[in-house]
Structure 1
Amino acid sequence: MLPVKFRPVPMERIWGGHKLKSTFGVTHEAPIGEYWVVSGHPNGMSVVCEGPLEGKTLNELTAAYPEAYLGTSHQSRFPLLIKFLEAEADLSVQIHPDDDYAQQYEGDFGKTEAWYILDAIEGGKVNYGHTFASREEYEKAVQNGAVKDYLRYRDIQKGDLVFVPARTLHALLAGTIVLEIQQTSDVTYRVYDWDRTDANGKPRQLHVDKAAQVLQYGAEDPVVSPVQLQEDEHVQHSRLVECQYFTIESLRARKAVSLSMGREGNPDVVIVAEGQGTLRAKVDGDNVTMSLRPGDAVLIPADVAAYQIDPNGDMTLVRTFY
């Protein structure tokens, strides 16, 4: 089967911005916070944007060709949701449930995610974790308007990877642009929203009780360290994180690089963070090429044994598989 690209799905958000609009061809004035570039979730379904499969949804591809576009996933829909996020203002402090809680109470999957930092202001930070010792302390802080006094922060800079397992309190902060790779889920519990109001002067809904049930009290925040897979003057290939839901790698290249599939029997997704180039693959004996530019996310089916990336100058890619 053929590699495919999808039309981005822009999502208006109160905290969104305008910098990425030219990348994704958005012209309307409202702030855009998220661009869903690979999604099998009904809240923002991906549709193929070019080639013989143009107009097909991702769910149609995985239903018609499951061995190629889904592989060995235990889900019937594509298990990863991939987005670009632009935070012109702070996001709410929030938390996502794990699979057990989400499937019992929300009819959806949990949400473990990771952020690849595309841009950040000097001295940039994210909220990551908290110091609540107990549910009682958390609920008291909510009542007293003191949640922000219990937040932990982590320094970030361009090229970092922040791994956010389900049940981790977190928030992207203003001046940050990230590529987010997550489980296919759209379940979020807001804990605190910086005393902000919407266009009608009303505060956004919080989910205090549900958050209390999924918060982990006294737990250590996870730390991940990149593993160098290849490094020379032309190519830097690193594994940034590996968990039960996904593996994420970064690839900085200035010459052609050949890649085998990340996991045999499953598809790859390659996302362009910076630069331009060409993807080359052999499909049913035919040579297939696809142009690559910033913001592109290419789903490479599992029956493509290997593929090649030809950069046009310096290029930064993020690859993910499961």
Structure 2
Amino acid sequence: MRAAAREDVRPSRTRILAGEGVRQLDHARIDFEPVKFQPVPVARLWGGHRLKSWFGVDTDEPIGEYWVLSGHPNGMSVAASGPFAGMTLAELVEQYPSVYLGHSPQPRFPLLIKFIEASQDLSVQVHPDDAYAQRVEGDFGKTEAWYILECPPDGRVIYGHQFRSQADYREAVEAGRVQEKLRWRPIQPGQVVFVPAGTLHALLAGTIVVEVQQTSDVTYRVYDWDRVDANGNPRPLHVDKAADVLNFDPDDPAAQTHPEAANPDASAAGVPAPWRRLVTCPYFTMDHVHLDTGTLPVESGRAGNPDILIAMGGSGRLSWPGGDMSIRRGDTVLLPATLTQYTVVNDDRLELLRVFY
């Protein structure tokens, strides 16, 4: 069996050597505050150029992903400013685990946040769950959710399959008939697509999303549209491992098509307006708000754990006792667990995701 698809997650610009000479700070004298991190742009064969202006990236390479909050060694976040400037997320949570990590299901920061721009179709792929990934790859599994920022008028994603069994799947691979067995699902901006581990899926050309996922970098490719890389070689597939982890249960909605993990009545979930609860799963919770005017007081999502704010549009400010910071489209902010209340101030149609675990 081939190895998992651990694609080269390398910054397209000069790598920042942030781990050298990190100063030790006096815990007792620090006023812990929200932290912004430098995005890690990742070149991909299927990437694009539209989001480069959001993140200040200057390269001719097509950028497919911007890792805006990551504790994974394949693309580590570095604090951009403030008292922790130059520290990696791993260093931050190691030094101050009760403040910036809290009760985590992983020994590292458990979530990875990305902006993804697909100018071509992504490979048809599947991710393992924790048990398989830890046993086979030495990593964690990947359940994820996409918030659709942009897509074509007739936008679709691949979600689910029609394989009746593992044998049926293998026969389709051998006969070159995988494409016939895929399920397609319409999408539109503002929609959420929840992708549990074991779900066959792919983003398609013209789609831009925010992705919230478990911290993991394990992907098994099933089909890659017969593409070749710059050297004329096809990218490796992972047929056997995909067979191990694909969901073939016809009675499980995730095996075929999965509704949004959304609660259409936010008040029923105890989420105060104007927040909407988008996703609740064992790994993370996602809330959404779009502010036209005014100020919004916020209570942290889970006591003892940090909040994450992701600005998807507009601009505004984040305010807390003792400080404030500007936030604009593309910013992702990690709020300390000690900050149980804060305020979001709208300047120009600020749109946010709030994520916690």
When normalised by structure 2's length, the TM-score is 0.86
Pair 1:241 & 2:279 matched:
yes
Q: Name the residue aligned to 1:74.
A: 105
Select 1:113's aligned residue among 120, 124, 144: 144
Q: Name the residue aligned to 2:300.
A: 261
Following superposition, the deviation at residue 76 of structure 1 comes to: 1.9
Pair 1:251 & 2:289 matched:
yes
Select 2:246's aligned residue among 185, 204, 215: 215
Aligned residues: 314
Per-residue Cα deviation, 1:114-134 (whole angstroms, up to 9, x for no partner): 000011110100000001000
The separation in 2 between residues aligned to 1:226 and 1:249, in whole angstroms, is 10
Secondary structure at the counterpart of residue 78 of structure 2? coil
The separation in 1 between residues aligned to 2:60 and 2:265, in whole angstroms, is 42
Select 1:43's aligned residue among 56, 64, 74: 74
Following superposition, the deviation at residue 64 of structure 1 comes to: 0.6
Once the two structures are superposed, the pairs formed by residues 49-128 of structure 1 within 5 Å of their partners are: 49-128=80-159
Letter aligned with residue 290 of structure 2? R
Q: Name the residue aligned to 2:13.
A: none
Q: Name the residue aligned to 1:158.
A: 189
Following superposition, the deviation at residue 153 of structure 1 comes to: 1.1
Letter aligned with residue 263 of structure 2? P
Secondary structure at the counterpart of residue 138 of structure 2? coil
For structure 2, list consecutive stretches of 5 or more residues without a partner in the other structure: 1-31, 268-272
Secondary structure at the counterpart of residue 73 of structure 2? coil
The separation in 1 between residues aligned to 2:112 and 2:45, in whole angstroms, is 21
Q: Which has the higher strand share?
A: 1
Once the two structures are superposed, the pairs formed by residues 268-287 of structure 1 within 5 Å of their partners are: 268-282=307-321, 287=322
8 Å Cα contact 2:262/2:280 also seen in 1: no
Following superposition, the deviation at residue 305 of structure 1 comes to: 1.4
Secondary structure at the counterpart of residue 90 of structure 2? helix
Q: Percent identity, please.
A: 57
The separation in 2 between residues aligned to 1:27 and 1:58, in whole angstroms, is 24
Secondary structure at the counterpart of residue 197 of structure 2? coil
Following superposition, the deviation at residue 225 of structure 1 comes to: 2.9
Q: Name the residue aligned to 1:290.
A: 325
Following superposition, the deviation at residue 220 of structure 1 comes to: 2.0
8 Å Cα contact 1:228/1:237 also seen in 2: no
Per-residue Cα deviation, 1:90-114 (whole angstroms, up to 9, x for no partner): 0000000000000000000000000
8 Å Cα contact 2:39/2:67 also seen in 1: yes
The separation in 2 between residues aligned to 1:86 and 1:257, in whole angstroms, is 30
